[in-house]
Structure 1
Amino acid sequence: MAGSRNDRASNVRTLSQGAKHQPTMGLLDAINLLLACIIGSGIFISAKAVLEFSGSYGLSIIVWVGCGLLCIMGAVCYAELGCSYVSSGGDYTYLRVAFGNFPGFLRVWIEVVLSRPMIVVLSVLTAANYLVYWFYPTCTPPDILVKCLSSLLLLIVGFINLTSAVWTNRLHQVCNYFKIASLLIVIGAGFYRMILGRVENFAEPFESSTYEKLPSAFYAGLFPYAGWNYLNNAIDDLKDPKRLLPRSIVISLLICILIYFLTFSSYFTALSAYDILQSDATAVSFAERVFTPLLYIIPIGVTMSCVGAASGNIFTVVQMFHVAGRDGLMPHIFSMRHYKSNVPMMAIMFEIIISFVFLFFMSNIGTLIICVGMINWTCILLTAVGLIVLRYKHPDRERPIKIPIIIPIIFIIILITLIGASAITDVENIKTSLILLASAIPAYIFGVVWDKKPDSFNRKYNSFAIALQKIFHVVHEEHTD
């Protein structure tokens, strides 16, 4: 982004060696990564919001399942794009090819500077809040304590991602085991209470339903599924993308639908709708009603779930930043990987720094959820439109997966309805989102449009980039696309 692309290509490569990238992920690794990204803080935060907007258990279940099916519809669109345009840029690649450089740059800016750091911060904040619950069970914990603990968790996640992709995948596996184990405890306790006859809250499942707020309920229900499209950002790491990409996304989403359905239903075996709406930590309230020792087990599961979500988001977003840096839409230094571990160290460190900025200057969980949702689903909407554009722009392109055109059309209509409805009901947070989006314009003008920068600036940039290469031992990846 800084310095001309020609200068970067000629000067910065003086220290470069070829770092050949070898795919490392099979089907189970891909599913583990997606589950780490998807099942995070959302299931522990959105249960209350979905119920608040839907008004009843029955309508809430329809929302949970409907949101999962909507994501599967989007997943098949992404599967066609991912198999047709194989690149770790994900949405960035599709938007850039379909609409040009600025939409591609905007997608990268949103992911790297806005959306993913917000999700990472949301994950570590949720984990910290559940951990400090042991010490502050009846009152609000000090904000500084929560932020310090969140900072520690963020540093741990960042260190593991910087160390090795293998260790990062192992972290995802361990977090998934803790995460699913804790959810299975909730589900198992719910089944046990149903056997004991605690089913009074299911007697009239649609009582008090509020259909006029259904769009908001769906919007809240989509948040726990966020991350289903992240595997497209790491497609270069898949051993067989054309086979593994669609399978892993659909399998992961089906697992999530089942887990969310059973977990939400289990809550109602111990809590009424009123209890859930009054609680700020539904899982803890459930544990308190069912079995007191679970108060010390559930927070650990939530913490590991959120840590896995934070790590998964960092691991996948740097792939998009890497490809944009390689294409000259972001500083070229971010396209480099460590010459031994093959880890994109500069991109990971940048992502961690931005996450710390949001952690200390924008740590309101409610605002983060709204802004992340609006920004993320707007980009997904544009990508679905891009699929249709690319069908006509590149009619002869090989498409190993080609879905019926009606699927992206229906998907686009649904998203326009949901985004429009949420924009009407939450004007303040929409303004915040638009201000954050507007920050991409000066960055694009300075970094991309202004290509002929002064020689003195280019020399300083290239010297700085070479110094970073020497310090962190990063080199250019061999690329044959």
Structure 2
Amino acid sequence: MGRSKGDYAALVPSLSTRMSKHAPTMGLLDSINLLLACIIGSGIFISAKAVLEYSGSYGLSIGVWIGCGLLCIMGALCYAELGCAYVSSGGDYTYLRLAFGDFMGFLRVWIEVALSRPMIVVLSVLTASNYLVYWFYPTCAPPESLVKCLSLFLLLIVGFINLTSSIWTGRLHQLCNYFKIATLVCIMGAGFYRMFLGRVENFAEPFEGSTYGKITSALYAGLFPYSGWNYLNNAIDDLKDPKRTLPRAIIVSLLICIIVYFLTFSSYFTALSAYDILISDATAVSFAERVFPFLLYIIPIGVTLSCVGAASGNIFTIGQMFNVAGRDGLMPHIFSMKHYQTGVPMIAILCEIILSFIFLFFMSNIGKLIICVGMINWICILLASVGLIVLRYKHPDRERPLKVPLFIPICFISILVILIVASALTDLENISTSLLLLATAIPAYIFGVVWKNKPSSFNRRYNIFAMNLQKFFHVVHDEHND
């Protein structure tokens, strides 16, 4: 029998009642480093062209980059209050389930597991493939079949490493982070050098060609590189003095990201015009080609590894979401099982890889993927922010060490509502696709959660199938791991 909503709320600890198995270890600097690693990834390389395509000019694009960062800071303050009031590794899932019930909690898990993560993985490997093949197709678009095959190959490599060893996966992430940082430093350094030489002609009329009719799509594209700012809520149990550390870490990290994205995007314009960026499928490589010839052999590798690291990171970290969902009965518990020796959640990772293959073959348009991921994720963030207000009235006596002024969540919610409604009016195709994908959660919830009295024949076959998976992949429950 499932727990009632009231019981579930009582089981979610506050800061004063949390009981950690170990002493908190993460201070402000550790928290900032973790967030920067989560936020700054392939997004700046994926979204630069899309932001310009929908905004039409350098000036409006910069406004989008900065505006998106400030919007995320407003959301971060809302999440800081939620994180300090409801201490749970479930993050958004916990807040939505407490505020609106089991279905909304399931919806968040479904979006993360079945939609958002696989789409981001596909975005990452497609971008990596476009940068790799640019060497061979510098003046024309590469064949779509070649990009798909290379993306498939990269996805297989990333999946194999994640399935084989968490140690090797960690080393892959370290290597990718080094190349990511080096690539961004090269681009920004080259941009400063060209500005020093006086190559600023592309900044003369910054708003020329602005297209305000597609500003909502530009905002979704601009918000994508900031994804991950709410991940620290999932690690709140490890934070020292969360009341101070959580909001400061998120705000400082986002301010750093705004500066990095501003400088990187501006650096492109020291060598490329808006037209040059729009016709290129690999903006950073086109930039390198114009600036220093030797960078032409460095930047594609750096961007490729950055995107591969993003794909691997999204696959690697999905285990926690499966674990929480399996624990609460919203997903089959076999997804949370881990290999008895390596501790790798193999079934969960295999599920993500299979879903990524499906998206790769049926939805491989990078621009469409960016917009749909943005719409889906920000609908959930909107619901969580509304949940903050709902939970204030639902649990008035709840301990809230950090309580933001009410006008901040109201303003944040209002902006998101306008953004989503405007996108529904101006970008009907993408909002329809996003809503259709969201609707897949309804039959999944009815079949997996609501329908409890399934036929005994079905349960028997499922149990046999689950046991065969356990035997084949050597996975066990966490409590059986030594």
Aligned partner letter, 1:309: A
Give 1:12's aligned residue.
none
- 1:405 and 1:36 map into 2 onto residues whose CA distance is 31
Q: Does 1:291 align with 2:295?
A: no
Aligned partner letter, 1:159: F
Aligned partner letter, 1:439: T
Q: Does 1:44 align with 2:53?
A: no
TM superposition shift of 1:183:
1.1
Please show how residues 15-164 of structure 1 align to structure 2 within 5 Å: 26=26, 31=32, 33-164=34-165
Structure 2, unaligned runs of 5 or more:
4-19
Aligned partner letter, 2:200: V
SS at match of 1:308: helix
SS at match of 2:476: strand
Q: Compared with structure 1, are the counterparts of its residues 367 and 210 closer, same or farther at alpha carbon in structure 2 (3 Å cutoff)?
A: closer
Q: Does 1:458 align with 2:462?
A: no
Aligned partner letter, 1:465: A
| Deviations, residues 164-205 of structure 1 (Å, cap 9, x unaligned) | 545444433322221121111111111111111112222333
Give 1:327's aligned residue.
328
Q: Does 1:184 align with 2:185?
A: yes
Of stretches 387-396 and 182-191 in structure 1, the one that deviates more from structure 2 is 387-396
TM superposition shift of 1:344:
2.6
- 1:72 and 1:258 map into 2 onto residues whose CA distance is 14
How many residue pairs are counted as aligned between the two chains? 462
TM superposition shift of 1:379:
0.9
- C-alpha contact 1:91 1:107 (8 A) present in aligned 2: yes
- 1:152 and 1:83 map into 2 onto residues whose CA distance is 42
Please show how residues 292-371 of structure 1 align to structure 2 within 5 Å: 292-371=293-372
- 2:146 and 2:23 map into 1 onto residues whose CA distance is 40
TM superposition shift of 1:240:
4.8
TM superposition shift of 1:325:
1.1
Aligned partner letter, 1:129: N
- 2:350 and 2:232 map into 1 onto residues whose CA distance is 21
TM superposition shift of 1:225:
1.4
Identity across matched positions, percent: 79
- C-alpha contact 1:338 1:475 (8 A) present in aligned 2: yes
Q: Does 1:471 align with 2:472?
A: yes
Give 1:17's aligned residue.
none
- C-alpha contact 1:329 1:447 (8 A) present in aligned 2: yes
SS at match of 2:453: coil
Give 1:262's aligned residue.
263
Q: Does 1:434 align with 2:435?
A: yes
TM superposition shift of 1:163:
4.2
SS at match of 1:397: coil
| Deviations, residues 445-465 of structure 1 (Å, cap 9, x unaligned) | 111111011222222222332
- C-alpha contact 2:217 2:371 (8 A) present in aligned 1: no
TM superposition shift of 1:23:
9.5
Give 2:219's aligned residue.
218
- 1:34 and 1:351 map into 2 onto residues whose CA distance is 23
- C-alpha contact 1:381 1:415 (8 A) present in aligned 2: yes
- 1:344 and 1:234 map into 2 onto residues whose CA distance is 19
- C-alpha contact 2:141 2:281 (8 A) present in aligned 1: no
- 1:424 and 1:213 map into 2 onto residues whose CA distance is 11
| Deviations, residues 52-85 of structure 1 (Å, cap 9, x unaligned) | 3434323322221111111121122222222322
Q: Compared with structure 1, are the counterparts of its residues 311 and 78 closer, same or farther at alpha carbon in structure 2 (3 Å cutoff)?
A: farther
| Deviations, residues 303-351 of structure 1 (Å, cap 9, x unaligned) | 1111121122223333222211110011111222334444333212211
Give 1:15's aligned residue.
none
- 1:414 and 1:273 map into 2 onto residues whose CA distance is 28
- 2:113 and 2:188 map into 1 onto residues whose CA distance is 35
- C-alpha contact 1:219 1:422 (8 A) present in aligned 2: no
Aligned partner letter, 1:187: M
| Deviations, residues 35-55 of structure 1 (Å, cap 9, x unaligned) | 444333332232233233434
Of stretches 207-216 and 320-329 in structure 1, the one that deviates more from structure 2 is 207-216
Aligned partner letter, 2:476: V
Q: Compared with structure 1, are the counterparts of its residues 99 and 342 closer, same or farther at alpha carbon in structure 2 (3 Å cutoff)?
A: same
- C-alpha contact 1:23 1:239 (8 A) present in aligned 2: no
Q: Give the superposed CA RMSD.
A: 2.8
- 2:401 and 2:163 map into 1 onto residues whose CA distance is 34
Aligned partner letter, 1:38: I
- 1:5 and 1:403 map into 2 onto residues whose CA distance is 33
SS at match of 1:329: coil
Q: Compared with structure 1, are the counterparts of its residues 86 and 65 closer, same or farther at alpha carbon in structure 2 (3 Å cutoff)?
A: same
- C-alpha contact 1:95 1:386 (8 A) present in aligned 2: yes
Structure 1, unaligned runs of 5 or more:
7-19
TM superposition shift of 1:300:
0.8
- 1:322 and 1:241 map into 2 onto residues whose CA distance is 26
Bigger relative contact order, structure 1 or 2, given CA contacts below 8 A and separation 6+?
Answer: 1
TM superposition shift of 1:117:
0.3
| Deviations, residues 248-276 of structure 1 (Å, cap 9, x unaligned) | 43333222111100011111111223332
Aligned partner letter, 2:221: A
TM-score, with length taken from structure 1: 0.88
Give 2:254's aligned residue.
253
TM superposition shift of 1:383:
0.9
Aligned partner letter, 2:374: G
Give 2:198's aligned residue.
197
TM-score, with length taken from structure 2: 0.87
Aligned partner letter, 1:92: Y
- 2:48 and 2:399 map into 1 onto residues whose CA distance is 42
Give 2:450's aligned residue.
449
Of stretches 22-31 and 211-220 in structure 1, the one that deviates more from structure 2 is 22-31
